[in-house]
Amino acid sequence: MNILLTGCAGFIGYHLSKRLLQNNRVYGFDNLNDYYEIKIKKDRLSELQQSNNFSFFNEDLKNTISCFEDIQFDIAINLAAQAGVRLSHDSNYRYLDSNIIGFHNFMDYCVEKNISKVIIASSSSVYGNSCLSPFKESEKNLVPASIYASTKLYNENISKIYSDKYNISLAALRFFTVYGSFGRPDMAYYSFCKDLYSQRKFTVFNEGKMSRDMTHVDDIVLGIQKAIAFVMEFNSSNFEIFNLGNANPISTLDLINKLEVITDKKAIFHFQESLSESSITHADLNKSKNILNYFPKILLDDGLKEFHDWFVSYHDI
């Protein structure tokens, strides 16, 4: 298949590309923005560029897409977004550029190019703090606690309209705290690991009591592959939302304990309040299991060890 993948230099985009390149042609699109170290994005890209099945376009979704003139795509996957819930007030425009304007440009491009199979990345953050856990896709009381989460909910709502109006078979995937090798340095598990090795004091939000349903990136890639097979089955408009999580949340303090054991270092931290975080994320996986046959396999202890092995080798520790 010819696959258009935005956000290919990102954490999930890199792992997904690697898997898809085994038997597809991947046209990767990314603006290589500086939300976190560009070096890690370039390192991911240089691995992907070793495959003859990979082409890269360094473009920004906030501009109209024009780089793939002669290519017919079988499916388009949108992972490009401004991720993270905690940007400073001055940087809020990044959510608008990528997650609102960029998202519309992506959907409009699919319509223009007659791409009728589409997958979009959503987030567990859409559940906010008002839902009963474990979170079900059928939950109606969604009150996002951050601008980021609101943009993801907006993406789901808008893509349903595109799906209905333009006969698109579309799956919106709610990812739950994805971790693993080549991960995102802004995420807690990664930055805690860095701070443990440099013995720097770090901030722990909300007394370390928040829990996250941490999901290994290999399980997420598996789930996306299942979602690809699912959207390919429909030749008319079809819209579904799926949770891709691990169904086994861990509190921040327990995560820190696990990392202390793996790194053999003692953490130094202080507490701070944050209002833009959900207190817990916990995926109900019944729908994903029943429809996609998605069963996450990687235990957190194994996944964290795998991440740590990559971390010490990548950072030459």
Ligand X SMILES: NC(=O)c1ccc[n+]([C@@H]2O[C@H](COP(=O)([O-])OP(=O)(O)OC[C@H]3O[C@@H](n4cnc5c(N)ncnc54)[C@H](O)[C@@H]3O)[C@@H](O)[C@H]2O)c1
Tell me which residue of 109, 25, 117 sits closest to 66, measured CA to CA: 109
- Minimum CB separation of residue 311 from ligand X in Å reads 16
Helices (H) and strands (E) in the chain, counts: 10, 13
Q: Which of 14, 109, 127, 148 is catalytic?
A: 148
The residue ranges that bind ligand X (CB under 6 A) are: 6-7, 9-13, 30-33, 35, 41, 60-62, 79-83, 97-98, 102, 121, 123, 175, 177-178, 184
Point out the residue whose Cβ comes nearest to ligand X.
10
148 in active site: yes
- Minimum CB separation of residue 213 from ligand X in Å reads 10
Nearer to ligand X among residue 10 and residue 303 (C-beta): 10
Nearer to ligand X among residue 179 and residue 230 (C-beta): 179
Establish whether the linkage from the previous residue to 134 is cis, with ω within 30° of 0. Answer: yes
Nearer to ligand X among residue 43 and residue 60 (C-beta): 60
Instruction: For residue 86, count other CB atoms closer than 10 A to its CB.
Output: 12
Contact 116, 230 (CB under 8 A): no
Q: Which helix (H) or strand (E) holds 243?
A: strand 238-244
Q: How many CA atoms lie within 13 A of 260 on its CB side?
A: 10
d(CA 120, CA 269) in angstroms, rounded, equals 36
Tell me which residue of 121, 1, 171 sits closest to 73, measured CA to CA: 1
Strand partners, 289: none
- Minimum CB separation of residue 249 from ligand X in Å reads 14
State the catalytic residues. 148
